[in-house]
Structure 1
Amino acid sequence: MILMMYLILMTTSTMMLYLSTTPIMLGINILTMALLLSASLATSMSSWYAFLVFLIYIGGMLVMFAYFLALSPNQQMPTTSNMVYMLLTLATLTVVAITTSTKIYIPQEMYQDNMYLYSMSTAPILIMLALILLLTMVIVVKLTSRSKGPLRPFN
């Protein structure tokens, strides 16, 4: 039942990505999704693994959103006209979760071998992901110029 509630909250949070109009709201939404993902990993696998996934995910995403916030102009937060849609979606998904008795099957293999992510066979993938993050950071820095955009000059 707990995993079903996490799944409902993740689905609602994913649907709310389309209603977010400012980078700050997108950042808050992604932070919520990362927290829900780590909570579901903590209940199904290991809390240490969930903590590591949360730190890695948030570290990378906050760096990216810091660059986007520095590039975008200062905007006013919109009124809560989308709040009705969000509450309606959350209420519908909650009713569906309560009325159905669907069990989420978690295989026994998920409880074992948490270190397969950091084995020698997956090292090239991890290095590639780190290089993509580095390349994205360099591209964003090169695209920004101090004379254009909302970046404040250093005095």
Structure 2
Amino acid sequence: MSLMVVFCMLVGVMFGVLVVFQPLSLGVMVVLMSVVSSFFIGSSVSCWYGYMLFMVYVGGLLVMFIYVASLASNLMFVGGMGVVGCFLVLLGSGAYWMSLGKSSYASVVGYFGDSGFVSLVGSSGGGIMEKSMVWGYVGLGALLLVVLVGVVKICYRCDGPLRPFSLYYA
């Protein structure tokens, strides 16, 4: 049940990335998202896998954050309540799921376990692509997609650092 709360926190942070406007707050949200996703993967699959995933994410995040911060270095940091609102709503939904009880939770997990997407992997199992890992890969893909959309949203501005300008020499 605690994994459901962590999953709701992860989804809340993922949707919170789309609300931020400054590179500094995007960096904080992406680091928070990598910590929560690594904790979720480490708790559900393997502790070492979560640790290695965190190290890879932090290495990539450092490069991305330095690049975005150098592009949009003159923006003022303004906090917003949209991120906190998304986070609190999804944390509340996780608490609601915990209060439902084991029978309704098992019926929801059983419903998603019998979906056709999991059966596409095959019955051989083995290796890194197992049935139990499919949703982890889908979640990591969605995580990277949301981060990509957030970075593009910050860099694609008419008045930002990538705007067209003309040089006037005196």
Q: TM-score range by the shorter chain?
A: 0.5 to 0.7
Counterpart of 1:92?
92
TM-score between the two structures when normalised by the length of structure 2:
0.55
Deviation at 1:60, TM superposition (A): 0.9
Distance (Å, rounded) in 2 between the aligned partners of 1:86 and 1:49 = 28
The 1:92–1:19 alpha-carbon spacing in structure 2 relative to 1, beyond 3 Å, is: same
Tell me if structure 2 keeps the 8 A contact 1:8–1:97: no
Q: Does 1:35 align with 2:35?
A: yes
Give percent identity, aligned residues only: 23
- Per the alignment, do residues 61 and 88 of structure 1 end up closer, same or farther by CA in structure 2, a change over 3 Å counting? closer
After superposition, the Cα gap between the structure-2 partners of 1:33 and 1:87, relative to the gap in structure 1 and judged at 3 Å, is closer
Q: Which runs of 5+ in 1 are unaligned?
A: 107-111, 118-148, 150-155
Name the CA distance, whole Å, in 2 between partners of 1:45 and 1:84.
29
Relative to structure 1, the CA distance from residue 58 to residue 83 in structure 2 (aligned partners, 3 Å threshold; closer, same or farther) is closer
In structure 2, the CA distance between the partners of 1:24 and 1:79, relative to structure 1 (3 Å rule), is closer
Among candidates 128, 135, 140, match of residue 116 of structure 1:
128
Equivalenced residues, count: 113
SS of match in other structure, 2:18: helix
RMSD of the alignment, in Å? 2.8
One-letter identity of the residue aligned with 1:61 = L
1:75-154 residue pairs with structure 2 within 5 A? 75-82=75-82, 85-86=85-86, 88-90=88-90, 92-101=92-101, 102-103=105-106, 104=109, 116=128
- Taking structure 1 as the reference length, what is the TM-score of the superposition? 0.60
Match of 2:62 in 1: 62
TM-superposed deviation, 1:26:
0.9
Q: Distance in 1 between matches of 2:53 and 2:66?
A: 20
Instruction: Tell me the SS of whatever aligns to 1:57.
Output: helix
* Structure 2 CA distance for partners of 1:82 and 1:44, relative to 1, 3 Å: closer
Which position in structure 2 is the counterpart of 1:53?
A: 53
Q: Distance in 2 between matches of 1:28 and 1:38?
A: 15
Give the structure, 1 or 2, with the largest relative contact order (CA under 8 Å, sep 6 or more): 2
Show the counterpart of 1:137.
none
